[in-house]
Amino acid sequence: MTEHSEEDKTQEVNELIEQRKKKLKELRDMGLDPYDQDFQAADHAADLIEKYADVDNTKLEETIIPASVAGRVVAYRNFGKASFAHIQDSSDKRIQIYLARDILKDKFPILKKLDIGDIIGVNGRMFKTRTGELTIEVNDFKILAKALRPLPEKWHGLKDVELRYRQRYLDLIVNPEVRTTFASRSKIIKAFRDFFERHGFIEVETPMMHPIPGGAAAKPFKTFHNTLGMELYLRIAPELYLKRLIVGGYERVFEINRNFRNEGISTKHNPEFTMIEFYIAYKDYNFLMSFTEELLCYVAMQAIGTLKFKYGEHDIDLTPPWRRVSFLDSFMDAGLSQENLKDTEAVAGWAKTNGIDIPKGASYAMALDEVFKERIEPKLIQPTFIIDYPVELSPLAKRKKDNPALTDRFELFITAREMANAFSELNDPIDQRGRFNDQLIDRQKGDEEAHVMDEDFLRALEFAMPPTAGEGIGIDRFVMLLTNSQSIRDVILFPQLKPQQ
């Protein structure tokens, strides 16, 4: 590693940084390494608090309990011949330390060079202050990494939303609820994995770069492979690869990974988002509905310990069973009659008088879908399965036995957002080819999101795929729900932002 000058010209000039660099030099002049490595913390703040918070001081003083902790100095109060500070460590807790000149002797003056934000390691013993706060009486300490930049304000924290996202590390240091949210996210993903593993699923990873973007209606990102000399697309869904695995003989597979969609960014949309998709052979969408209830309740219990919680204004209750309404019946709730649903003209007519814009040349199903998004979806606050979608909206789903215009498909809505999309997978290769052809026609009409013909996938189906049920669940949105987050950016560590100039 090369030595860099401390007066690096590329670094912005700032008085506070200059002062800290001066302290850095002074520490070196004292023969200390401000980026020392030689410290092993035996304890974490959270463990110490858990073990000793309820023990009274006389007992702590008698037993002499050693403690060693490493972390960031987040508060510092100096009294001349003694100081108090709080250290925040990786256990997400803060513990107070007491630094007295009598005890630290000739090391005490080093504290002059200490700043809030520095990483230090301390050794000492546990005691309680007069106010009853569990504290480490430090007998030795070491600066492990000197901070050159000051932390944001201790009381108000970091509020500027742009800075919070761009400098997430600061957000994590000073806004404790952020750590809580991402701790929940981690628990949620772990709970999904546990659940699937306990149900005999194998976790797989399928390609992120697809020669043909498929498995969803969405606009893809395009990239280029130099050696192959070919265009590739970042995947919009893993669906078609996971189904190839079912053809290959796996009976239960799941994948937790990113999808990429080249579309708008909003509080509900990030260009890359995490989905879990899973496929289970010899089952159908009816099975999946109860399976989904079981799955999401398990995850909620593991992550937040309850099925009843607040989301914004709403009191959400995940207790099964969840309401099941057919796509067509759901329109009755919005005040449409059978007559209004008779044909495309009837739907378009109702839409027009109710101020909903139906694009010209829209099919019956597309017109219904527009009305659904406008009038039905916003009302689906409590968990609701909308089932039996029109075949035109579901090019990869199996037709209903008793009505070939509809499919064995459901979408799960909670807080007016689509949380899951599932169906009995279409495994008739000839029907699938026909559906792709219909999509090609839509594409030629200008629908950029219509599916693309995938001959390789069709060939796989021609080798026979067992009857299979498949489902995708938007992890980010489910994390939003369970952590009461109003923006998807609050549940993604580094959300996509415009580049800074």
Binding to RNA, residues 45-84 (CB under 7 A): 75-82, 84
Report the C-alpha gap between 472 and 239 in whole angstroms: 9
Pick the binder of RNA from 273, 285, 389, 478 (CB under 7 A): 273
Q: How far is the CB of 263 from RNA (least distance, A)?
A: 4
Report the C-alpha gap between 501 and 498 in whole angstroms: 9
Nearer to RNA, 88 or 247 (CB): 88
Q: Give the count of beta carbons closer than 10 Å to the beta carbon of residue 258.
A: 15
Residue closest to 435 by CA, chosen among 448, 422, 425 = 425
Report the C-alpha gap between 379 and 414 in whole angstroms: 9
- Contact between residue 171 and residue 182 where contact means Cβ atoms under 8 Å apart: no
For 210, half-sphere exposure in the C-beta direction (CA atoms, 13 angstrom radius) is 25
Is 19 a binding residue for RNA by CB under 7 A? The answer is yes
Is 488 a binding residue for RNA by CB under 7 A? The answer is yes
Q: Which stretch binds RNA (CB under 7 A): 41-49, 118-126, 145-153, 223-231?
A: 145-153
Q: Which stretch binds RNA (CB under 7 A): 45-53, 157-165, 227-235, 462-470?
A: 157-165
Is 135 a binding residue for RNA by CB under 7 A? The answer is yes
Pick the binder of RNA from 63, 186, 223, 267 (CB under 7 A): 267
Is 354 a binding residue for RNA by CB under 7 A? The answer is no
Q: Is the peptide bond before 150 cis (omega within 30 degrees of 0)?
A: no
Q: Which stretch binds RNA (CB under 7 A): 331-339, 341-349, 427-435, 485-493?
A: 485-493
Q: How far is the CB of 255 from RNA (least distance, A)?
A: 15
- Contact between residue 282 and residue 288 where contact means Cβ atoms under 8 Å apart: no
Q: How far is the CB of 428 from RNA (least distance, A)?
A: 23
Nearer to RNA, 163 or 202 (CB): 163
Pairing between strand 222-225 and 134-145?
unpaired
- Contact between residue 52 and residue 65 where contact means Cβ atoms under 8 Å apart: yes
Task: State the number of binding residues for RNA (CB under 7 A).
Answer: 76
Nearer to RNA, 36 or 374 (CB): 374
SS (H, E, C) 408-452: CEEEEEECCEEEEEEEEECCCHHHHHHHHHHHHHHHHCCCCCCCC
Pick the binder of RNA from 71, 152, 213, 215 (CB under 7 A): 152
Given the structure tokens 């630290």, which residue do they identify?
104
Pick the binder of RNA from 56, 140, 194, 263 (CB under 7 A): 263
Pick the binder of RNA from 255, 388, 425, 476 (CB under 7 A): 476
Residue closest to 276 by CA, chosen among 372, 188, 212 = 188
Nearer to RNA, 239 or 281 (CB): 239
Pick the binder of RNA from 46, 116, 204, 362 (CB under 7 A): 116
Nearer to RNA, 237 or 406 (CB): 237
Q: Give the count of beta carbons closer than 10 Å to the beta carbon of residue 169.
A: 8
Nearer to RNA, 155 or 224 (CB): 155
Report the C-alpha gap between 109 and 203 in whole angstroms: 55
Is 161 a binding residue for RNA by CB under 7 A? The answer is yes
Nearest 5°: phi and psi at 293?
-60, -45
CB contact set of 453 (below 8 Å; sequence gap of 6+) = 212, 436, 437, 439, 440
Site for RNA in 275-334 (CB under 7 A): none
Is 107 a binding residue for RNA by CB under 7 A? The answer is no
Q: How far is the CB of 273 from RNA (least distance, A)?
A: 3
Q: Which stretch binds RNA (CB under 7 A): 243-251, 286-294, 342-350, 484-492?
A: 484-492
Site for RNA in 382-441 (CB under 7 A): 417-418, 421
Site for RNA in 179-218 (CB under 7 A): 216-218
